[in-house]
């Protein structure tokens, strides 16, 4: 007696299994997105601390904070690789937007994914602004150092300095030292 398959039941079971797998992929994606949000919040805190250290001119503390930021960035990279892997399991292109990826997932809970995406975007804008502020503060600090070295070395504005792109520059004017060499 040949074995008869009920294709309707098999089809329904397959669809339910696929649906459950999509839900699991979705839950993993939401979890990874939440982890990315958490890591970026930590990075924002680190950047805020860097600004405080720059203002306090605590260069050793700043160096430690930079090392801690690198550790957070490393964890972000690892988590991003996980996100890309999950997107691949879902069947999406890693270059797709969150909206395009959520279109591949079941309807329930898409809002959760979008909320985390919006939060992450907001944190990235905050990070960009904090980085610009750090850059401005460091540039100002370097100008003070350059000015102080010019006073002490007697080269005035004629000495070698560095421009924003790291190139040496000088303006050709020579000023006498404002600090006298005195033998004790």
Query: Mean pLDDT for each 10-residue chunk of the chain (184 residues)?
Result: 54 56 78 96 96 92 95 97 86 77 71 89 96 90 83 63 61 51 50
| Whether the model pTM is above 0.85 | no
pLDDT given at position 125: 97
Architecture of the domain whose range is 7-134: Up-down Bundle (1.20)
> And the tokens for 117?
């995406």
User: What CA–CA distance (Å, rounded) separates 172 from 179?
Assistant: 20
Contacts of 69 (CB under 8 A, 6+ apart): 43, 46, 47, 50
């Amino acid at each position: 007696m040949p074995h008869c398959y009920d294709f309707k039941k098999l089809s329904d079971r397959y669809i339910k299994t696929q649906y459950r797998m999509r839900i699991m992929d979705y839950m993993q994606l939401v979890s990874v997105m939440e982890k990315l949000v958490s890591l970026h919040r930590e990075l924002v805190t680190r950047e805020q601390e860097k600004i405080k250290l720059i203002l306090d001119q605590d260069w050793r503390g700043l160096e430690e904070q930079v090392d801690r930021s690198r550790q957070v960035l490393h964890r972000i990279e690892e988590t991003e690789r996980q996100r890309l892997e999950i997107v691949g399991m879902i069947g999406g292109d890693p270059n797709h937007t969150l909206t395009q990826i959520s279109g591949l997932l079941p309807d329930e809970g898409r809002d959760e994914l979008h909320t985390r995406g919006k939060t992450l975007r907001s944190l990235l804008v905050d990070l960009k602004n904090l980085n610009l502020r750090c850059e401005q503060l460091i540039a100002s600090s370097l100008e003070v150092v350059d000015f102080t070295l010019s006073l002490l070395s007697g080269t005035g504005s004629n000495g070698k300095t560095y421009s924003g792109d790291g190139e040496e520059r000088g303006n050709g004017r020579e000023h006498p030292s404002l600090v006298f060499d005195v033998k004790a």
